[in-house]
Structure 1
């Protein structure tokens, strides 16, 4: 139940029951985070075999092999459990957000916070995911969770800090408090756009940084590209109404530093493979940066925002430009003041 309580003299909302939708590594990790924070947590999955493994063997062997789910979490395939939730975390791929939201919408009580845990921009519409949720489940209150976080680290209980944004600051505070524990530290924000842009664009830019590594261009080039990539993130966020300080925080710079430097990152690893001459298909369908790059580049063109690195990644993943030509094009850009 959501109710009002007094903490340090200030009225706040509390969230006791959390339902996580999505049985992948990230959904499982976030369900563990909620359970460790003391919430009554349910994980909704599509596959009955996954639910059985989580409930009886305390593991998700397909997504988090070898990791004991501690504390135990309850998994189900029954979407009706959403109806009793104070908050829902939607942990499905970015491009599946609309269809998933449409399925869960009939079970949501009006005003229920739905936390979007994916990072991307919808390809079909060019819309940020909070806008997609508003169309697909108009009774929900959109929130976004983003920041430097690998699912396996969160699942293992390693220290992690993220940002949770909602236009309603009281709900953002309540969600942060509901998920907070000694190992998982959420920071509340009201800048939904800034948080979403940081999360979406860092995947694209991590591919670019991976290409630099895969091509063997050196640490200096990687550092320079990361800095210029961060500038692109800030430009797009500002054009869409995000705040500059958001992009310099966890969901922007923090996530970019992690994703653009670690081989645990699917996007960075994909970039390395591309730089080494391997095809994009080797990395499967869930490289969010490859899906987001073309729509982010198109959005930037519409807004009149310069995103040369993003545009180069889009051209490479769509097969319109070779990696060598993309690198040459970036290096040949006119000199300008920083």
Structure 2
């Protein structure tokens, strides 16, 4: 676990006792508050910001049992801390919204943190981190009906592609149906196609070469009965010119597993953001759990990279 200095620890966002106890009280005594919060939320208009970009913070990792961040195997298991970090990120006006599983979205709604923000619901979290069936990414979260009824802006699905794992075929089929279902409701379908290679000993490696990523893009782009509402969520890579030239669909860059050097991550995101098909960032742990604990500074640095990639865009 990363040890923070006293000054750095002060920069870590916190949720007040009043906020935390109030949330726990509502959770235990007023389940109907969730539906009321969904119905009352002020939605963004339009989906893209005035900068014609999209900057989302992701917090759907715990739903898949992926809890490690900044060297701490239990970092994302601390829900009070996670919510405080999400709220701190959302306070930056250049953050357009979040990507989250139903529980996290609902807690942020109850805390009043999602007014006027884009909310993308996470749909398939069944491929648990570390499980022998991890590539079987079954749909266990939001579906198209609940996303529509809850007034969310779209749904996100994970499509991990492993040519040696037959369960990939079922995920492809399920994602295709979800794309169709969301498009029929006029909602964004954010597909995250990630190519993997399985070693003989079972270890999985994310492939980030241009051929593998471009192949994944072409597969994801063709899912469903229409691609009219499809967006792609892709990792930064060494050859963004080639990778992002393989689609006309709008793309967002994902943060992935944070590297040891935040500046290197920022540089990598910046190289992808200048591609004409790339519209923004969807970053999770790299911003919520930076090495120094200062979420607000990490978010501001990512926002600056986005501004630099689109210098002619109007300010937020």
Give the alignment's TM-score, normalised by structure 2. 0.29
Structure with larger Rg: 1
Which protein is richer in helix relative to its size?
A: 1
